[in-house]
Structure 1
Amino acid sequence: MTPPVRQAARAIALDDQDRVLLLHYDEHGGFWATPGGSLAEGEDHEAAVRRELHEELGVVDAELGPQIAERSQQHEVGEQTVLQAEQYYLVRLVIDAVDLARATQPDTIRALRWWTVTELRTTTETVYPSGLAEFIASLLTDGTPQTPVTLTG
């Protein structure tokens, strides 16, 4: 049986030193992932990214760049397996814009961290999506892709 599709929007949030912001979750053995989540009814992907940045990080009025990637992955949400169809948007953030005191729904986020490409390449921790380090390295070297790149894992 094909699982239901869950539309989601995520941010590849970079600071002025080209570090990427990842959030740590305890579920499923613990992992790091980009900010974001599922779309609310009637919401588009860009609005969802802005909402998620506010809910998870207290960021207000985030200025989004273009959609730079997409990914489809089966995983568990609650007790149900879904096919999550994600769109990733480039966001440049000033570190001071992240204010957890303004976060309205930090969910199961246990920590946040700004990662360099080198740190991502050498970590033994689980990071989603896999290949994120190489994607960001390419983004920084080659610029924004003309069409969204398909990410795996």
Structure 2
Amino acid sequence: MRGAEPDEVEPRGARFRRVARVVLLDPDDRILLLHGYEPEDPARTWWFTPGGGLEGAETREEAALRELVEETGITDIDLGPVLWTRYCSFPFDGRRWDQDEWYYLARTRRTEPTPRPRALTDLENRSLAGLRWWTSAELSAARETVYPTRLAELLRTLLDEGPPSAPVVLAPEIV
């Protein structure tokens, strides 16, 4: 996650943060996930896709690419279509985060371990434990918390059927 950007107000009056996330797959169809934790409670952990909030006037595509480089150091990717969108709301680092997230498909030829992240924010430095590649089977068998919560099922469908013809709207997740 990036530092807090100015909130925007959508028509219903709810405050939200526009976010671009990346479903990054390697040549073996493994997905790259970040391992995060609550800064004040490091025992509370979860896995999630790279990505974060838009900065200034950047597009979601630009934010997806920037965030991927900042959080993983990976630059050799092919950014594909938006797979899924969702609204989520969760407490983190002493505040509530309300986000409108778009998940982009991306491919990389890189299979070796990911280099150290390049440009983490202070909050990311205080809340990221690492990252790893997951197979679909590993993700399906995981007993750890993963966001979005249906990621294993969504990834299996993506690998079996390919990208959807239009972005799939996921059910809101409010924690």
Match of 1:4 among 7, 11, 15: 15
Identity of aligned residues (%): 40
Q: Give distance in 2, aligned partners of 1:74 and 1:139.
A: 25
TM-score (structure 1 length as normaliser): 0.90
User: What is the alpha-carbon distance in structure 1 between the residues aligned to residue 20 and residue 113 of structure 2?
Assistant: 20
Between Structure 1 and Structure 2, the one with more helix by share is: 1
Give the drift of 1:24: 0.2
Cα separation, 1, equivalents of 2:89 and 2:78: 29
Deviation at residue 122 of structure 1 after TM alignment: 1.2
1:50, 1:61 within 8 Å by CA — same for their partners in 2? no
* d(CA) in 2 for partners of 1:60, 1:19: 17
Amino acid at match of 2:114: V
Q: Secondary structure of the residue that 1:90 maps to in structure 2? A: strand
Deviations 1:62-101 (A, max 9, x none): 320111111101123543323200000001122348321x
1:107-146 equivalent positions in 2, closer than 5 A: 107=124, 108-146=127-165
**How many equivalent pairs are there?**
152
Q: State yes or no: 1:99 paired with 2:108.
A: no
Report runs of 4+ in structure 1 exceeding 4 Å deviation. Answer: none
> Residue 36 of structure 1 aligns with which residue?
51
Distance 1:39 1:15, change over 3 A: same
In structure 1, what is the equivalent of residue 5 of structure 2? none
With structure 2 as the length reference, what TM-score do the two structures score?
0.79
